[in-house]
């Protein structure tokens, strides 16, 4: 049976600049071989974090530098950003993510049809509902788990909100099927699951760093699955 090598885990103290410390550490690791740095992959939580790390590398470039591939896992085109690390992927393609504005308008219509609110208030509730749905999908928590929450004196108000939430969500999958799309958070989860499965079979040839990404109990992208000594998890101490 093939042995599994756990990833290295590093922590950056909160008083230090996360992006600058990460860039300095990766450059020190690469040493004189700058091509080794360029062959690596750094997974980051969002585009803002990717820009911050890119700027940190530029500040240390000293005339020129080949940076690693910086990939925000929240990017709708995550599969394209990963590039060659994702090929050959096989299987059916992951459906595209629904446009955020289109989703908000559809949810607002469902809220109006459910009698929850009308006009601008329905649009506002649709935005809140979308954010809640994203959080549940990112953490892979089923909406039914909301019924188990204890909210004390707010029970009646919470129940009315929950009834509306469930009523809309019962119709939301059909709306997604009609337009041939899925939620962005769902798409990201599916892509990360495929990446983890791919790397479990064929570990990447160069280093992979997951930087600033919270690892929760249900996260599918677990580096233990990758079975690669090149996997590194970098977090910030809070």
Question: What is the structure's pLDDT at 149?
Answer: 64
Q: What is the mean pLDDT of residues 212-232?
A: 48
The pLDDT value recorded for residue 226 is 41
How many angstroms separate the Cα of 97 from the Cα of each of 19, 87, 109, 221? Answer: 29, 20, 19, 19
Res 184: pLDDT? 86
Instruction: Count Cβ atoms below 10 Å from residue 65 Cβ, excluding itself.
Output: 15
| Across 134-140, average pLDDT | 80
Q: What average pLDDT does the chain have?
A: 76
DSSP state of 202: S
Name the strands in the sheet holding 231-236, side by side, starting at the edge strand that comes first in the sequence.
Answer: 8-12, 231-236, 208-211, 41-44, 69-72
- Residue 2 pLDDT: 47
Contact 82, 45 (CB under 8 A): no
pLDDT digits (tens, 9 = 90+) for 99-117: 999 999 999 998 888 877 7
Of 53, 50, 1, residue with least CA distance to 25: 53
Q: What is the pLDDT of residue 5?
A: 54
What is the pLDDT confidence band of residue 223, given thresholds at 50, 70 and 90?
Answer: very low
Higher pLDDT, 80 or 58: 58
State the distance between the two ends of the chain, measured CA to CA, in whole angstroms.
38
pLDDT tens column, 59-82: 888 777 888 888 887 766 665 666
Share of the chain above pLDDT 90, in %: 12
Tokens of 199: 């790397």
Higher per-residue confidence, 225 vs 9? 9
The predicted pLDDT at position 6 comes to 58
Mean per-residue pLDDT, 51-60:
90
> Of the ranges 27-31, 37-41, 156-160, which one carries the lowest mean pLDDT score?
156-160
* 197-221 residues labelled b (16+ CB within 10 A) or e (exposed): ebbeeebbebbbbbbbbeeeeebeb
What's the pLDDT score for residue 216?
Answer: 46
| Predicted pLDDT of residue 90 | 56
Which pLDDT belongs to residue 29? 84
Q: Round to whole Å and give the CA distance between 88 and 112.
A: 44
Enumerate the domain spans of the chain.
8-90+188-236, 100-181
Rounded Cα gap, residues 99 and 92, in angstroms = 21
Is residue 28 over pLDDT 50? yes
DSSP H/E element including 69: strand 69-72
Fold of 8-90+188-236: Rossmann fold (3.40.50)
Give the whole-angstrom CA distance, residue 169 versus residue 38.
44
């Amino acid at each position: 049976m093939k042995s599994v090598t756990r990833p290295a885990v590093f922590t950056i103290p909160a008083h230090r600049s996360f992006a600058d410390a990460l860039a300095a550490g990766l450059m020190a690791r690469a040493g004189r071989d700058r091509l080794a740095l360029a062959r690596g992959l750094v997974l980051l939580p969002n585009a803002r974090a990717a820009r911050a790390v890119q700027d940190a590398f530029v500040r240390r470039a000293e005339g020129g530098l080949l940076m690693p591939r910086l990939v925000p896992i929240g990017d709708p085109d995550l599969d394209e950003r990963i590039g060659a690390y994702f090929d050959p992927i096989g299987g059916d393609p992951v459906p595209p993510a629904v446009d955020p504005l289109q989703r908000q308008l559809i949810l607002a219509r469902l809220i109006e049809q459910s009698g929850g609110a009308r006009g601008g208030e329905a649009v506002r509730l649709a935005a809140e509902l979308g954010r809640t749905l994203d959080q549940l999908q990112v953490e892979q928590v089923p909406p039914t788990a909301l019924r188990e929450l204890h909210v004390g004196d707010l029970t009646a108000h919470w129940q009315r909100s929950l009834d509306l939430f469930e009523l809309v969500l019962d119709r939301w999958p059909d709306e997604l099927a009609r337009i041939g799309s899925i939620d962005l958070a769902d798409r990201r989860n599916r892509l990360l699951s495929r990446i983890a499965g791919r790397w479990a079979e064929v570990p990447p040839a160069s280093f992979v760093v997951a930087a600033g990404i919270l690892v929760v109990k249900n996260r599918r992208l677990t580096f233990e699955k990758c079975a690669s000594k090149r996997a590194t998890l970098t977090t910030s101490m809070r």
